[in-house]
Structure 1
Amino acid sequence: MSFLVIGECVADIVRGADGTERIHPGGSPANVAYGLARLGRDVTLLTQLADDPTGRLIADHLKDAGVRVEVGGAPVRTPSAVVGLDAHGGASYTFDIAWTLETGELLVEQPGHVHIGSIAAVTAPGAATVLAEVERLRDRATVSYDPNVRPALMGDHTEAVARVERCVALSDVVKASDEDLDWLYPGAEPHEVAARWRALGPAVVLITRGAAGSILFTGRETITAEAPPVTVVDTVGAGDSFMSAVLDVLGRRGRETLAGLGAHDLVRMLCRATAAAAVTVSRAGAQPPDRAELDAAEERFTLRFGRVR
């Protein structure tokens, strides 16, 4: 199966608690594409990159992993985010980004799956292009979405929730963090949000909770996974690695099959995704595991920490 990811690339300028700075290729959709390529998947990223040093750095990073990069219009400069890390490796972001995606005829063949998310799915004017592509392709492709909420860029709360829910309604699989839910639906429990979103259309909803693990919801199953204890370097890209691993497991499933996934397949997906995130937080920047690393990590995680409630 081929994957098409549509969304932003961002140069992450990571400032450590000691004041040091490092530049990492980033952007949630770009990270998902990179993670899929690291797992050996056939993936194309439709994005925007400027012809500047950070743009070339990001393009080389993606292509080295095997991602095909298609550029739908070049911005004046490549988007950037200053990432501040606290003493526990937690990340906060300050963005310099514009999203004006344009696209003609895609060079990629009809994908089997389309992934969207983050800034690109809700930021005008480029978000209109993203949604138009999803609507054009979804009759023949499954769709996933990660809101990856950035409050500073979301604008009016009510309008932002409506934009997010439009993306949810187009999707078969949705992944969000507990921080996303706290901003979108203050005070709501994860199962309440999952029920709300599933009523809009997705067969599978996943909620990540950092060190508290993750929860998966379908119409018949609620499954949790604990996070393995790891030494956290930083949390940059952990959710994107989780998403890549989910899509790797689901990549051969059609829309009808997704709705009927059994507990065994769901447990494996959750364990594999949680293991991918654990590997990523153990090293600096958005550096997801390759297939051999993930296979080894999944085995350790499943034997020691996986469980169903």
Structure 2
Amino acid sequence: MGKIIFIGELPLNLIFGRDGGVTVMPCDRIGRAAASLAAAGHSVVMVGEAAADPVGDIIVDYLASAGVDVRSVDRFTEGRSPQRDIFEQPDGTVRLVGYGREPDVEFDTVWPRIDPDDVVVFGSYFSLNDRVRPRLLDLLEHARARKATVVYLPYFETFQVPRVTRVMPSVLDNMELADVIVTTTDDLQLVFGNRDADENYRLHIEFYTPRFYNIDTASATVEKFPEREKTAVGSPGPGGVVDALKSILSTLSRP
């Protein structure tokens, strides 16, 4: 069994409940899946960046305490780690406000060793950021040359991308580099304007790769393409995404 290498943004989330309580949650789905898989015994590496500040310390300590190798997380000094304030609304939705300041220099970090049986997972807005992409694309091309399995998660927050058309060329370039694409139904709506997994597969994804998984958070199922097999995974709601992603990546990392 090879390593699972994650590449993505490392935010700190503050969740403000309707009851007035505040919950601290490090990372988004990529970082939380990395921590969950490492805690389950997988060899996991995180590639990304976090400021050398208290927020960055919380994020990196969270990953390291779960067993994630964080030597490829760049700790920058000129800027602030991304933070998201998430406000629960009475109707069950959330309002999200993002903070942070990127460094002015191009993203750079020490590459992890990549072997043929490794799985390399990338996504989030990090993979669309012009400051990050030159180094990221070099790393992904290296992963492909090393015969690793490359998995793309095309997701981002709406406050990061006010107009999806501006990032679609980068999304499509990322899809071309992927062996496997993993989405949620909400991702499909945001990126392609359509929640139907089968239709999106035929119109937008199959051209790039036949291997596609869609996580439907409402029904807590994962649909695997091209087989069109559905499996119950995790629990309904956004919290089930990490469980589903963990299951998918565990399967992909098996020899």
Interval of TM-score (by shorter of Structure 1 and Structure 2): 0.7 to 0.9
Match of 2:254 in 1: 252
Measure, in 2, the Cα distance between the counterparts of 1:55 and 1:6: 16
Q: Secondary structure at the residue paired with 1:72?
A: strand
Measure, in 1, the Cα distance between the counterparts of 2:134 and 2:67: 28
- Say if 2:125 is the partner of 1:119: yes
Deviation at 1:5, TM superposition (A): 0.9
The amino acid across from 1:127 in the alignment is R
Deviation at 1:87, TM superposition (A): 5.3
Match of 1:207 in 2: 214
Whether the aligned pair in 2 keeps the contact of 1:165 and 1:197 (CA below 8 Å) is no
The amino acid across from 2:86 in the alignment is V
Q: Which of 241, 244, 254 does residue 243 from structure 2 map onto?
A: 241
Question: 1:90-143: CA deviations, max 9, x gaps?
Answer: 54432224556622542x322411110112111221133222211121122111
- In structure 1, the gaps of 5 or more residues are 254-309
Match of 1:58 in 2: 59
Residues 245 and 82 from structure 1, CA distance in 2 versus in 1: closer, same or farther, beyond 3 angstroms?
Answer: same
Measure, in 2, the Cα distance between the counterparts of 1:228 and 1:49: 29
Q: Secondary structure at the residue paired with 1:18?
A: coil
Deviation at 1:14, TM superposition (A): 0.6
Measure, in 2, the Cα distance between the counterparts of 1:227 and 1:217: 12
Question: 1:168-210: CA deviations, max 9, x gaps?
Answer: 2211221111111112222462212112212112x42111221
Match of 1:94 in 2: 97
Equivalence map 1:219-238=2 (5 Å): 219=226, 221-226=227-232, 235-236=238-239, 238=240
Deviation at 1:80, TM superposition (A): 0.5
Residues 65 and 188 from structure 1, CA distance in 2 versus in 1: closer, same or farther, beyond 3 angstroms?
Answer: closer
Whether the aligned pair in 1 keeps the contact of 2:52 and 2:75 (CA below 8 Å) is no
Q: In proportion to residue count, which structure has more helix?
A: 1
The amino acid across from 1:142 in the alignment is T
- Say if 2:83 is the partner of 1:80: yes
Q: Secondary structure at the residue paired with 2:24?
A: strand
Whether the aligned pair in 1 keeps the contact of 2:80 and 2:101 (CA below 8 Å) is no
Match of 1:193 in 2: 200
Query: What is the root-mean-square deviation in Å for CA atoms of aligned residues?
Result: 2.4
Question: 1:203-238: CA deviations, max 9, x gaps?
Answer: 42111221223342433x1112356777x7xx35x3
- In structure 2, the gaps of 5 or more residues are none
Whether the aligned pair in 1 keeps the contact of 2:44 and 2:69 (CA below 8 Å) is yes
Match of 2:140 in 1: 134
Measure, in 2, the Cα distance between the counterparts of 1:245 and 1:49: 27
Measure, in 2, the Cα distance between the counterparts of 1:84 and 1:44: 31
Q: In proportion to residue count, which structure has more strand?
A: 2
The amino acid across from 1:171 in the alignment is A
Deviation at 1:54, TM superposition (A): 1.7
The amino acid across from 2:145 in the alignment is D
Measure, in 2, the Cα distance between the counterparts of 1:248 and 1:127: 27
Equivalenced residue count is 246
Match of 2:10 in 1: 9
Residues 200 and 9 from structure 1, CA distance in 2 versus in 1: closer, same or farther, beyond 3 angstroms?
Answer: same
Deviates more, 1:19-28 or 1:94-103: 94-103
The amino acid across from 2:25 in the alignment is H
Percent identity over the alignment is 21
Q: Secondary structure at the residue paired with 1:109?
A: coil
Measure, in 2, the Cα distance between the counterparts of 1:198 and 1:178: 16
